Amino acid sequence: MASIFDIGKSGLQSYRQALSVTGQNIANINTEGYKRREASLVEISGSSGGITSLPSQNGLGVRIDQVRRSFDEFLLNKARNATAYAETSASFVNGLAQLEDILLPGNSNLGTVIGGFFDGLQEVSASPGDMAPRVLVIEQGKHLAETFRQLDVVIQDLKDGLHTKAKQDQGDLNALLSELANVNRQITSSGSSVANNALLDNRDSIIDRISKLAEVSVTLSDKGAANLTLGSTGRGPALVEGNRAFALEIENTGALMQFLVGSDKGLLPTNQMTNGSFKGLAAAFATASKTLEDLDALAYSITQAFNRIHRQGIDLEGNAGGDLFRTQAPLLQASLSNMGSAIAEAGVLDFDLIAADEITLTYNASASVWIARNSLNQEISRGREKVQLPGLDIMISGQAKDGDQFTFSPAAGMAGEMALNITRAQELAAAATTQIFADSDNISAAEIEASKADPLAASSLPEIGQLFANASSAIGARQFLVDGSVGVVPKNIENIDLFSLASQAGIDFYASQSEMSAAQSLSFVTRSTVNNNQVDESHSFTLNPSQFSGSSSWQDFGQIADLLNAGVLRSAAGKSLAELGGYAAGSAGQLTLSFAEVEVTGDALLGTGSGQMVTGLLSGREETISDIQIFTREGRHIAGTALSATEIANLITADNGFLAEAAYNSDRLNLTGDAGYKGIGLARADSASDILIASRGSGHQRTLDFTFLEGIDTDEAHPQGELASAAAVSYTVSLGGLIEASITTSAINGQDGAAVARAMADALRASAPIATMAGAATLQRTDTITLSQEQQNSLAADGQVSVTDGGIIYQISSSDGIYTVTSGIKDQISLTYDAVNTRIESVVPDLPVEEDSVWISFEGAFYQLTRKGDEIELTGGEEGRLSAYFDTNYRLQILSNSGSLSASSLALASDADIAGNSSNARRFGLIDGVTQPTVSNTVQDVNFAGLGVDFDISLNGAQLVVTHSDSNADMQVTTMAKSLAGQRVTLTDLPDEELLVMVTGGGARRLAMTYDQLPEGTLQLPRDLQVKVTDSANRTVEFIDTETGTSIATRTLDANGRTSGAGYDVRLRGELETNDKFHITSNAGGRGDARNVQAMIDLQLNQTVGADRGNFQEMFSAMVSELGTKLQANELTYEAASALRDASLEAESAYSGVNLDTEASKLIEQQQAYQASARILATARELFDTLFQNL
Amino acid sequence: MISTKLYNAQSVERFNRLTADIQEAQIKIATGKRITRASQDPVAAANISVAKEQKQLVSRYVSNLEKAQVRLNTVDTLLGETQNIVTRIYELALQAKNDSYSANDRAAVVSEMTELREALVGLANARDGNGEAIFAGYKTDLEAFQADEADAITYSGDRGIHSIQISENMRINTTLDGASVFMRVQTGSGTKSVFSIIKEVTDALSSGQTANVAVDELIKAVDHVSLQQTRVGAELSKAKVQNDVLMKRKVVLEENLSVLEEADMAALITELQTLLTSRDAAQQAFIKSAQQSLFDFLR
């Protein structure tokens, strides 16, 4: 049995300890993270008894079992989650409130600025001709753009601020994570099985702080070390694992804040940021991005809508309105994660049709197709190399991998780049482009209504761009099988040059790789017509590759074609292909031969060894040139040959691209300029002679203009060997029936008209006398160099000496009394040594000074001869006509480079023509004292008909001018030319409408053309139109181009007076009178017109028909309300979250927090127990005393 | 029972919230606005911005209307003058047609008529306060009516009629085009200009062919001008009606806006008073409760 004394002692000790625990609690009332401690008391049980004794039922006292830390994991986790949730809302609400302040800073916001701009436009509408309101509205427009840019900057700043804040918090979080890892290490390394309470407090306090930033899931080890994963699921990425911490990283992707967590594999992105202030910041960041997107879309919408209308107007200076707001090229970006090498390019067709919506193109490898989706992820289009979208095509090239993406964001960055495109008030296009009214001289009182008609449906015929290479080339030409429609010249072609070509006879060999490489021989038969007799000639070529390369087989047909063209391969008769008039093209599998002059017939064979033959396909020669015809879709005949009634019936049909109402009209056929259709520029030549040699002028002077058709009249080979064309060009000119010359390519040194003209002039002059002029004097002077005594000695001793004279050093050497100059300008002086007088006499040129000039007249032109160093430069007159030089005797020699038809002589220009020319001539040695220069004409050809010819030619670029000496004479000039081209139609300043091209007249039906396209977006003011009543009884009207009076279309009015034509829907109301006119004219000068500005004003209330455009203030208002609603909702969430957090904290605090009242009552309770235990001791002592006294 | 530390912290938090509410109420009282941020009532905020936009538009329509009225009145006056002149010429023609007039008398009449015709050209080329031609259609910088070599008056303006917006879907013409007013009088012999009718009369008078004086055409001209004046009158009365409509709309809009936007002062001040009272009470209570704990009784 235990001593009562011991029991009392145990009580005293235990309660003293309990009191100190309570004291500790009170002392730590304000300690962060401190969890209330509780001393738990247990009875010290009695002895266990033995075999002979009952166990004692009395205990042995009391003891402190443990000082328990009031820790409830469930309550604590709940409090942490609630805190994280509240933090999310708090930082999100904070961000949203800032955003709201930005969008609605006070009385003036974007909405009111937009309203102000419209109000300014109203002011312009009231007095459109007045400058003051225009200046004002320009300022308001700038302010509008500035407001957009400002908002963009401020929202970007907000985003940056949110990102910076998150970055700071990231630092804090990562520090806390490492600290926790550190605490974990201490907990696990402590020896006892239960960790120190203070360490646990520290642990929980750190986790509390982490939870505020990011919601985490906590798992505790047996010893109490905490492992954290991100997010509420417990399956998020690890942040702390034992004593390892993994850092969190935040990345700004532009639109979003992306969270990444470190791991053994490096940083990995996570979406487990479920709550905490990071989550709030990220949400606010995303909302700000979304707001910015909305702002961009609004800016885009404004730009697009205003520009569309502004471009339809006309400004105060009568110019077409351009863009009102500046546009930017839409952004097309490849995704950063693209694995392939595909490149995309956006081709904008119509800016107006491109919505602000972002479009994503994703590559689907299994279908090998690009799929375009809108922002709602709905598929809107797909394509392989081209994806067609409203208003634009996206072309994609290169190799793509599955899942590769391109993002097309037309509106991206618009707000930040918004700017007014016009700077001057006059440029505001307030007036509408056209005015529509009845002529004030009309007899009738009929009125007109007109509106732009829907654009004509394009004809179903192919456009020329799809059919023809844009090249005047025989290889780019295209052959048609039948007469009729060829194609359409689209609206945006400004100039076009069409050629109708003959087709040459040809042979095509198609061979396999093995046949080609084994090719051994080539044979074919040509047929020419001589004096109406057909003459056939067989030609065979031996093809032996080893002659030209180390290999015994051919690489490809290109190699054979090159050797044939170069004349290296020759026929058995020793003729080259060129001599046969042929040209070859070749590639891997095809060899093509074309013949300029002859037909091919019989068998064409390519021997490929062992008796194997490949037979060539022959194509016949067609010399007849087809007629080129050009029409409007209304049946107006612009160029070609007038059609017969049958042809009209056959050709003017809807199938050929004509409108149903088309009526044939040839009033303007082949006319040019003001007489031409809508002022079109037109030149038409329908023979090779007219194409290559244009002859102009009359009377005694004729001008011949030479053209060289490079690509048509040159040898051409298609790189793929499919086509070849042999040059067959010649030019013939006959002058006055006396002199005739003919030239072909070989004589022409160059590929343009000037080269032809030069060659022609040379040919015409070939036999004519050459004029020469020789100077009268040699230009020399004598110099004397006296040798000094020293130099004499040196010369005697060394046999050589250096003499300096006039800055030039001469080396003189003597050998056997002969003195020679060994250096210096030895060729220009001659030396003699005068031994008696010990001096050297030299003769040096005495040329005129540099840049000195003299003038010569020849064939009626003046030539200036200027000294340039040792050369004479010739200027003036005909380039290259004369040559001039100093001969070895320093006498000036001048001669004509080819003969002079009129046997003109060279003569000095007189002083009357060129002041001071005779003194010039003296300096040049042309006159020496009284001696005149010698003038001579050398006849080259005794048969030259000339020497009596009284006309001459002169050359000026590509022009050859023939002039008769008698101004009353009629200079007879005939020209002839041969070309592959037999007809040429050149059209310039084409009207803004589609034209139809046809071929008629049978023949080769082979066309080539070149054309100029107007650049994208070129503004063209519509031409003034008249609607003229041509027959009031039959109600027929004619649409007429006002400026040129050209009839564009013929129509009959329906019962309501309606019709459509020339791009307008027209209605005439009232009685009509024949010859009454109605105007649809340009409104240039219409400064009092406000219709276009009114159309812009209509955008404010979205009154434009059938378009979801305009109403910008409402769009902004919607943006603000959306944000406001979000903020309002989140403020409520915040309140709820705060309440939840408070409740959870209360619950946790009620369990583990220190409450003074509780502690005070414990203090009293424990003190009482302590006092009572002391009383036990006292009682024990009294018991002892009693016992002691009784002894 | 929660910890003393949390209790204190939560109390402080509650005071902060109360203070924020008080601030909010004070701002509303100071601005007189019910809503100071869109998020307080997003729906009302959207309505307010629509109402303000409307108000701005209506004010603009009113000011457009005033401008239109000024111009139409000018046009009306000019047409009145024109009417007077043409009527005077008609009277002169009637008199001069009388055979009792001598050649000299006729010459005097012709000379007066020519003067009047000049004056008429002047009226036709009249300009408004901004220096813009009134009867030149859209080509308001032109002297649209000019005499050619044959002394015939030609019109180089166009037939555009400037109009201005006076409500969302109503526009009013502020002028007439010169061609309609002066150049297109329908007569028995086709469409003629007022000037050429007068010219023909003076030519007939000067050549003494009184029989050819087309008095009936002058009547047509008078009628034509008065018809034009009627057109202007119609626009003016349309303007008057629209003015009344706009004024009414303005009043309604302002009322609406005030209902939407303006704060209920009585309610706000009561709310503020309540808030202040609760803050004071809460603070007092906190001071009392925080001061006391069981320790106060441990003596």
The two beta strands, B170-173 and A1046-1052, are unpaired
Residue A438: the pLDDT is: 86
φ/ψ (deg, to 5) at A1047: -80, 125
Give the DSSP H or E segment for A415.
helix A414-417
Residue A801: the pLDDT is: 77
Among B6, B63, B186, beta carbon nearest to A1153: B6
Sign, CA torsion A873/A876/A881/A886: negative
Please report the residues numbered 904 through 943 in chain A whose beta carbons come closer than 8 angstroms to any beta carbon of chain B. none
Instruction: Report yes or no: B1 at the A interface, CB cutoff 8 Å.
Output: yes
DSSP H helix total and E strand total for chain A: 18, 67
Sheet holding A681-685, edge to edge: A478-479, A1006-1013, A493-501, A981-988, A681-685
Residue A826: the pLDDT is: 45
Residue A888: the pLDDT is: 79
Q: Is A30 exposed, middle or buried (0-12, 13-18, 19+ CB in 10 A)?
A: exposed
Q: What is the pLDDT confidence band of residue B46, given thresholds at 50, 70 and 90?
A: confident
Quick one: average pLDDT of B198-202? Answer: 90
Q: What is the pTM of this model?
A: 0.69
d(CA A602, CA A537): 10
φ/ψ (deg, to 5) at A30: -105, 10
Q: What residues does A831 pair with on adjacent strands?
A: A842
Residue A1086 to residue B139, Cβ atoms within 8 A: yes
Angle among Cα B280, B287, A1136 to the nearest 5 degrees reads 65
For residue range B234-275, what is the model confidence (pLDDT) as tens digits?
999 999 999 999 999 999 999 988 888 888 888 889 999 999
Q: Which residue has the tokens 């002086």?
A: A829
Express as a percent the part of chain A with pLDDT over 90.
33
- A905-928 as b/e: b if 16+ CB within 10 A: bbebbeeeebeebeebbbbbbbbb
Taking the CA atoms of residue A427, residue A432, residue A433 and residue A438 in that order, the dihedral angle to the nearest 10 degrees is -140
Among A126, A1142, A1153, beta carbon nearest to B64: A126
Q: Which residues of A touch B42 (CB under 8 A)?
A: 1121, 1124-1125, 1128
* Residue A421 CA from chain centroid, whole number: 21
* Cβ contacts from A onto B, under 8 A: 183
Instruction: Report yes or no: B291 at the A interface, CB cutoff 8 Å.
Output: no
The answer to whether the CB of A589 falls within 8 A of the CB of A510 is yes
Which pair of tokens denotes residue A638?
A: 């612009």
φ/ψ (deg, to 5) at A387: -110, 120
Please report the residues numbered 22 through 51 in chain A whose beta carbons come closer than 8 angstroms to any beta carbon of chain B. 29-30, 36
Q: What is the pLDDT confidence band of residue B276, given thresholds at 50, 70 and 90?
A: very high
Instruction: Report yes or no: A1088 at the B interface, CB cutoff 8 Å.
Output: yes
Q: Which residues of A touch B160 (CB under 8 A)?
A: 435, 437, 1083, 1086, 1088-1089
Instruction: Report yes or no: A1090 at the B interface, CB cutoff 8 Å.
Output: yes
d(CA A600, CA B245): 92
Residue B70: the pLDDT is: 93
Residue A1078: the pLDDT is: 92
Residue A1107: the pLDDT is: 44
d(CA A257, CA A282): 6
Residue A1149 to residue B2, Cβ atoms within 8 A: yes
C-alpha dist (Å) from residue A885 to A593, A775, A882, B51, B299? 49, 10, 10, 95, 137
The low-confidence residues of chain A, meaning pLDDT below 70, are 1-2, 46-57, 192-194, 805-808, 815-835, 838, 842, 844, 941-948, 1016-1021, 1102-1110
Residue B229: the pLDDT is: 93
Instruction: Report yes or no: A1160 at the B interface, CB cutoff 8 Å.
Output: yes
List of E strands, A727-837: 730-735, 739-744, 770-774, 780-786, 800-805, 808-815, 818-823, 830-834
Taking the CA atoms of residue B171, residue B172, residue B175 and residue B179 in that order, the dihedral angle to the nearest 10 degrees is 60
Instruction: Report yes or no: A89 at the B interface, CB cutoff 8 Å.
Output: no
Angle among Cα A104, A109, A110 to the nearest 5 degrees reads 115
Residue A1124 to residue B64, Cβ atoms within 8 A: no
Residue A47: the pLDDT is: 62
Residue A609: the pLDDT is: 81
Instruction: Report yes or no: B67 at the A interface, CB cutoff 8 Å.
Output: yes
Q: Which residues of A touch B168 (CB under 8 A)?
A: 1101, 1103
C-alpha dist (Å) from residue A252 to A166, A249, A266, A292? 10, 10, 18, 15
Residue A1085 to residue B142, Cβ atoms within 8 A: yes
Taking the CA atoms of residue A1042, residue A1045, residue A1051 and residue A1057 in that order, the dihedral angle to the nearest 10 degrees is 40
What number of other Cβ atoms are within 10 A of residue A929's Cβ? 7
Q: Which residues of A touch B39 (CB under 8 A)?
A: 96-97, 100, 1123-1125, 1127-1128, 1131
What number of other Cβ atoms are within 10 A of residue B255's Cβ? 11
d(CA A431, CA A1061): 24
Q: DSSP string of A634-664?
A: T-BEEES-PPPHHHHHHHSSGGGT--TT---
Give the DSSP H or E segment for A380.
strand A379-383
**Which residues, in sequence order, are CB contacts of A192 under 8 Å at separation 6+?**
none
Q: Which residues of B touch A1103 (CB under 8 A)?
A: 168-169
Residue A437 to residue B133, Cβ atoms within 8 A: no
SS3 content of chain B, % helix, strand, coil (to 5): 70, 10, 20
> Nearest-CA neighbor of A394 among A348, A354, A336?
A348
Q: Which residues of B touch A133 (CB under 8 A)?
A: none
For residue range A856-907, what is the model confidence (pLDDT) as tens digits?
999 888 999 998 877 889 988 888 889 998 887 788 899 998 888 888 888 8
Residue A1085 to residue B159, Cβ atoms within 8 A: no
State the smallest CA–CA distance between residue A419 and chain B in angstroms. 24
Angle among Cα A308, A309, A311 to the nearest 5 degrees reads 70
Please report the residues numbered 220 through 279 in chain B whose beta carbons come closer than 8 angstroms to any beta carbon of chain A. none
User: Does the interface predicted TM-score (ipTM) exceed 0.90?
Assistant: no
Please report the residues numbered 1095 through 1134 in chain A whose beta carbons come closer than 8 angstroms to any beta carbon of chain B. 1097, 1100-1101, 1103, 1113-1114, 1117-1118, 1120-1121, 1123-1125, 1127-1128, 1131
- Which amino acid makes up residue A1010? T
User: What is the 3-state secondary structure of A451-518?
Assistant: EECCCCCCCCCCEHHHHCCEECCCCCCEECCCCEEEEEECCCEEEEEEEEECECEEEEEECCHHHHHC
Please report the residues numbered 130 through 169 in chain A whose beta carbons come closer than 8 angstroms to any beta carbon of chain B. 130
Residue B184 to residue A1097, Cβ atoms within 8 A: no
Among A112, A1114, A1158, beta carbon nearest to B1: A1158
For residue range A1062-1080, what is the model confidence (pLDDT) as tens digits?
888 999 998 889 999 999 8
Residue A159: the pLDDT is: 94
Which pair of tokens denotes residue A476?
A: 């780019």
Instruction: Report yes or no: A115 at the B interface, CB cutoff 8 Å.
Output: yes
Question: What mean pLDDT value characterizes chain B?
Answer: 88
For residue range B61-86, what is the model confidence (pLDDT) as tens digits?
999 999 999 999 999 999 999 999 99
> Is the pLDDT confidence value at B26 over 70?
yes
Q: Which of A440, A1131, A1152 would best serve as a mutation to test chain B binding (most B beta carbons within 10 A)? A: A440
Residue A126 to residue B191, Cβ atoms within 8 A: no
Closest residue in A to B44 (Cα) is A1121
* Side-chain half-sphere exposure of A1030, counting CA atoms within 13 A: 13
SS3 content of chain A, % helix, strand, coil (to 5): 30, 30, 40
Instruction: Report yes or no: A122 at the B interface, CB cutoff 8 Å.
Output: yes
For residue range B213-230, what is the model confidence (pLDDT) as tens digits?
788 889 999 999 999 999
Closest residue in A to B60 (Cα) is A119
Q: Which residue has the tokens 């093995």?
A: A514
Q: Which residues of A touch B239 (CB under 8 A)?
A: none
What number of other Cβ atoms are within 10 A of residue A89's Cβ? 24
φ/ψ (deg, to 5) at A249: -125, 145
Among B60, B155, B293, beta carbon nearest to A1156: B293
Please report the residues numbered 136 through 155 in chain B whose beta carbons come closer than 8 angstroms to any beta carbon of chain A. 136-142, 155
d(CA A155, CA A255): 12
Which pair of tokens denotes residue A555?
A: 């690489």
State the smallest CA–CA distance between residue A1129 and chain B in angstroms. 9
Q: What is the DSSP letter of A931?
A: B
Residue B139 to residue A1087, Cβ atoms within 8 A: yes
Residue A1105: the pLDDT is: 41
Q: Which of B14, B16, B158, B161 would best serve as a mutation to test chain A binding (most A beta carbons within 10 A)? A: B158
Residue A126 to residue B164, Cβ atoms within 8 A: yes
